[in-house]
Amino acid sequence: DTAVSQTPKYLVTQMGNDKSIKCEQNLGHDTMYWYKQDSKKFLKIMFSYNNKELIINETVPNRFSPKSPDKAHLNLHINSLELGDSAVYFCASSLRGQAPYEQYFGPGTRLTVT
């Protein structure tokens, strides 16, 4: 069974388009995250939701909007895509309130903006 899944795995699109990435976890976790990994493999936190409440909102262009319909899902919508948005986006989840709070990651979505 897949623990944290993301769709699509690959996304190629043109500048100016709007796209969404979906994430689902079946671990019973209550906290979910979006990370951006650039070409140098640096992982940067973007957003985090706990029980559908936004708890981390890093300095990210407002073209990026997360949505959490329930605690098992966290989607990322990106408006007006730019070349610099090309990266791998990872979803992760964890269980708040239970140490050691390890995160589990999805397989990633490789976004290429042309």
Partner 1 sequence: AQSVTQPDIHITVSEGASLELRCNYSYGATPYLFWYVQSPGQGLQLLLKYFSGDTLVQGIKGFEAEFKRSQSSFNLRKPSVHWSDAAEYFCAVGPSGTYKYIFGTGTRLKVLA
Taking the complex as a whole, the smallest distance from the CB of residue 36 to partner 1 amounts, in Å, to: 12
State how far the alpha carbon of 65 is from the alpha carbons of 68, 76, 79, 92, 96, in Å.
10, 6, 8, 16, 23
Task: Note whether 106 binds partner 1 by CB under 8 A.
Answer: yes
Is the CB of residue 25 less than 8 Å from the CB of residue 82?
no
In which residue are the tokens 């319909």 written? 69
Residue with smaller CB distance to partner 1, 19 or 105:
105
List the structure tokens of 84: 């610099």
Site membership for partner 1, residue 56 (CB under 8 A): yes
Q: Does residue 104 belong to the site contacting partner 1 (CB under 8 A)?
A: yes
Distances (CA, A) of 73 to 31, 36, 50, 109, 114: 10, 18, 11, 15, 28
Least separation, in Å, of the C-beta of 62 and partner 1? Answer: 20
Footprint (CB under 8 A) of partner 1, residues 82-101: 90, 92, 94, 96, 99-101
The binding site for partner 1 (CB under 8 A) comprises 4, 31, 40-43, 45, 48, 50, 55-56, 90, 92, 94, 96, 99-108
